[in-house]
């Protein structure tokens, strides 16, 4: 038999379709004995639910969506997304839910996908990343009334619940670490100012530097290796150049490392380099990068669990705090002017 349906099971078990549906979904309406028998028959016949049939009838689509807006041909998935993806899928798969991933060109296209997938009933909910300052996606998702979890925060994402890590606290710890090493002039190679987390990190650098009496400057970039390199070149060419650089991403930090090597600036002897984002990339370059480490896989799991809970009960929208990233010291940082390093 090709693909048994619940009608086949019902016939074989001598019950009705309804009884089979109840039994297979673990809901009341059948006795324990009958349920047992039905499950055994379903197992024997190797029955699998037809996802489309289930999605019809107003039930779940069994899928949640993740849409990334970035130019298609630029760098592939950053390690962050690979990890996040795996974490999301790990948690979702325990509940038979799939993750639909789509990469689009820009935010407008992203919003269009939200509308389409919602009206086509393709997904039950969304995961939102890269929260922007006055994020246009938030009101759209609220209007669509579709469950969604935001990664990032706190605050500024309307009524949508979020999972967030304390970027401010993390950045402060970075600045304090550099200050403790003896650095007095630091620079921060930030990401796109349109992102909320970029703004938060810039503010944290400013506040931390002020408190510790450091000179600090933040330079916004577009997160690309090209701009990271260009900004680094400009900084190192200054007469009183900084003795430590904080990069918002591992890719930019690696690009910066390349510029330092090219300009003959020794790392960490003459320049300390720190990445706000840890990854395999940060480990394999030479010198290995001191970086903020966070468990992105676990973050993904947490987000997925929260979204599943939200699907079960739309009332449970609450913000959840993720552990603050911890500093992993490697070879790219030292006291300023330490010629032995």
Partner DNA sequence: CAGTATGACTAAACCGGTCTAGCGAAGGGG
Partner DNA sequence: CCCCTTCGCTAGACCGGTTTAGTCATACTG
Stretch that binds a copy of itself, among 31-39, 99-107, 183-191, 320-328 (CB under 8 A): 99-107
DSSP one-letter string for 211-265 = HHT-EEEEE---S-HHHHHHHHHHHHTSTT--SEEEESSHHHHHHHHHHHHHTT-
Q: Count CB atoms within 10 A of the CB of residue 31.
A: 11
User: Which one, 7 or 75, has the nearer CB to DNA?
Assistant: 7
Q: Which does 89 bind (CB under 5 to 8 A by kind): a copy of itself, DNA, none?
A: a copy of itself
- Read off φ and ψ for residue 152, nearest 5 degrees: 125, 165
Instruction: Yes or no: say if 113 and 67 are a contact pair by the CB < 8 Å rule.
Output: yes
Q: How far is it, in rounded angstroms, from Cα 132 to Cα 69?
A: 12
Q: Is 61 in the site for DNA (CB under 7 A)?
A: no
Minimum distance between the CB of residue 82 and DNA, rounded to whole angstroms? 33
Contact 93, 64 (CB under 8 A): no
CB atoms within 10 A of CB 292: 22
Could you say whether residue 243 binds a copy of itself (CB under 8 A)? no
CB of 284 to a copy of itself, least distance (A): 4
The pairing of beta strand 290-293 with beta strand 326-328: antiparallel
From CA 56, how far away is CA 265, in angstroms rounded?
Answer: 63
Give the Cα-Cα-Cα angle 102, 107, 113 (nearest 5 degrees): 45
Q: In what order do the strands lie in the sheet with 272-275?
A: 215-219, 185-189, 244-247, 272-275, 290-293, 326-328
* Binders in 126-165 for a copy of itself, by CB under 8 A: none
Q: Pick from 1, 7, 240, 281: which binds DNA (CB under 7 A)? A: 7
117 binds DNA (CB under 7 A): no
Q: Is 26 in the site for DNA (CB under 7 A)?
A: no
Task: Single out the residue of 28, 73, 264, 313 in contact with a copy of itself (rule: CB under 8 A).
Answer: 73
328 binds, among DNA, a copy of itself, none (CB under 5 to 8 A by kind): none
In the complex, minimum distance from the CB of residue 52 to DNA, in angstroms, rounded to a whole number: 7
* Whole-angstrom Cα Rg for the chain: 25
Least distance (Å) between residue 312 CB and DNA: 12
Which 112-131 residues touch a copy of itself, going by CB under 8 A?
Answer: 116, 119-122
User: For the chain, what percentages of helix, strand and coil (3-state, to nearest 5) are there?
Assistant: 45, 15, 40
Write down how long the chain is. 341
Quote the least distance from Cβ 7 to DNA, whole Å.
7
- Does residue 174 contact residue 140 with C-beta atoms inside 8 Å? no
Quick one: 212 or 311, whose CB is closer to a copy of itself?
311
Only segment of 56-64, 99-107, 123-131, 142-150 that touches DNA (CB under 7 A): 56-64
Which of 194, 219, 230, 297 is in the footprint of a copy of itself by CB under 8 A? 297
Given the complex with a copy of itself, which of 4 and 193 has the nearer CB atom? 4
Q: Does 53 bind a copy of itself (CB under 8 A)?
A: yes
Binding site for DNA (CB under 7 A): 3, 5-7, 14-22, 24-25, 28-35, 47-50, 53-54, 56-59
Binding site for a copy of itself (CB under 8 A): 3, 46, 48-56, 61, 72-83, 85-87, 89-90, 93, 98-103, 116, 119-122, 225, 229, 251, 254-255, 257-259, 261-262, 279-281, 283-286, 288, 297
């Amino acid at each position: 038999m090709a693909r048994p349906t619940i009608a086949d099971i019902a016939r074989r078990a001598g019950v009705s379709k309804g009884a089979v549906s109840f039994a297979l979904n673990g809901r009341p309406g059948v006795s324990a004995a009958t349920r047992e028998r039905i499950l055994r028959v379903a197992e024997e016949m190797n029955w699998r639910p037809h996802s489309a049939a289930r999605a019809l009838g107003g039930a779940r689509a069994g899928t949640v969506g993740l849409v990334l807006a970035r130019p298609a041909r630029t760098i592939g998935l950053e390690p962050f997304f690979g990890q996040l993806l795996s974490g999301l899928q790990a948690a979702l798969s325990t509940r038979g839910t799939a993750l639909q991933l789509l990469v689009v060109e820009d935010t407008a296209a992203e919003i269009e996908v939200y509308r389409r997938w919602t009206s086509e009933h393709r997904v039950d909910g969304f995961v939102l990343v890269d929260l922007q300052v006055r994020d246009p996606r938030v009101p759209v998702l609220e209007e669509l009334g579709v469950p969604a979890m935001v990664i990032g925060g706190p605050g500024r994402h309307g009524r949508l619940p979020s999972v967030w890590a304390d970027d401010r606290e993390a950045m402060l710890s970075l600045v304090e670490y550099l200050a403790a090493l003896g650095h007095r002039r630091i620079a921060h190679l930030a990401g796109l100012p349109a992102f909320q987390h970029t703004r938060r990190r810039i503010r944290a650098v400013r506040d931390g530097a002020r408190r510790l009496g450091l000179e600090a400057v933040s330079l916004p970039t577009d997160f690309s290796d090209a701009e990271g390199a260009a900004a680094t070149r400009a900084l190192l060419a200054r007469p009183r150049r900084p003795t430590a650089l904080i990069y918002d991403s591992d890719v930019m930090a690696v690009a910066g490392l390349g510029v330092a090597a090219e300009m003959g600036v020794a790392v960490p002897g003459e320049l300390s380099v720190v990445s706000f984002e840890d990854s395999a990339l940060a480990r394999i370059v030479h010198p290995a990068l001191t970086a903020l480490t966070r468990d992105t896989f676990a973050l993904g799991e947490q987000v997925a669990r929260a979204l599943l809970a939200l699907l079960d009960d739309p009332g449970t929208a609450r913000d959840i705090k993720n552990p603050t990233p911890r500093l992993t010291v490697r070879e790219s940082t030292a006291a300023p002017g330490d010629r032995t390093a």
